[in-house]
Chain A
Amino acid sequence: MAPPGTTPSMGDRVTAIVCDDAPGFRALLSALLEDAGVEVVARGETWAEAVELAPGIDAVVVDLWMPELELDALATIREITRGSTLAVVTALDLDEARNRIGDIDVDLLLSKIAPPGDVAAAIRDNALARRGGAPVPEEA
């Protein structure tokens, strides 16, 4: 595993990790990302696993509630993933989720009830834009 702060993969495919304590959603998002051309290299179900797996990945996707929000862990992941995509998915209303995240600068805050294909596409497009230096798309 690459040490913290290393640049994301420069292979052909965008790489991602998916961390969610709900196995069904973890499997769904992984399948959707693969379907969108993203290589899901690892999966986790806790904040600790997300912190461990995040370095060197193009797109780090974390559920906000695993099983509670751990702001310190989210802030650590943000520091590790400067230059790559940090996407937070949530089943909470987005305003409620924003309030809980506070001033931690995530790249994408995505609702679990958005069209699933749109969620995967937003993550892929944001990661591709960051990798290519293009303008980063707005949230889906």
Chain B
Amino acid sequence: MSLPDDDERLVRLVHDLRTPLTVIAGFAELLERGIDRLTEEQRTEYVGRIASAARELREILDSERAERLSADEA
């Protein structure tokens, strides 16, 4: 079933996915680049940010899947 606002939903979904993806890539880059000079506190924070962004991605995808299933059943 095609939703009437599919295009806008897709724009929103892509937007919502990009931010946590960028956070994961960016903090990984910082860790890779500065692994020797970062403090223990910074390393811990950056790893935590990566884990948090990964959880956010999973939640977005789970939510999108649930909405799709609900729309298909309607």
Contact = CB atoms under 8 A, between A and B. Distances in A.
Interface of A: 22, 24-25, 27-28, 31-32, 35, 65, 91-92, 96, 112-113, 115-117
Q: How large is the interface on B (under 10, 10 to 19, 20 to 34, 35 or more residues)?
A: 20 to 34
Contacts of B35: none
B19 A24 contact: yes
A131 to B, nearest CB: 26
B17 to A, nearest CB: 8
Interface of A is mostly: helix
A116 B18 CA distance: 12
Interface of B: 11, 14-16, 18-23, 25-27, 29-30, 33-34, 42, 45-46, 49, 52-53, 56
B27 to A, nearest CB: 6
Contact of A31 (B11, B21, B30): B30
A99 to B, nearest CB: 12
Given A24-B23, A28-B49, A112-B18, 13 more contacts: A24-B52, A24-B56, A28-B30, A31-B26, A31-B27, A31-B46, A32-B30, A91-B15, A91-B18, A91-B19, A92-B15, A112-B22, A116-B22
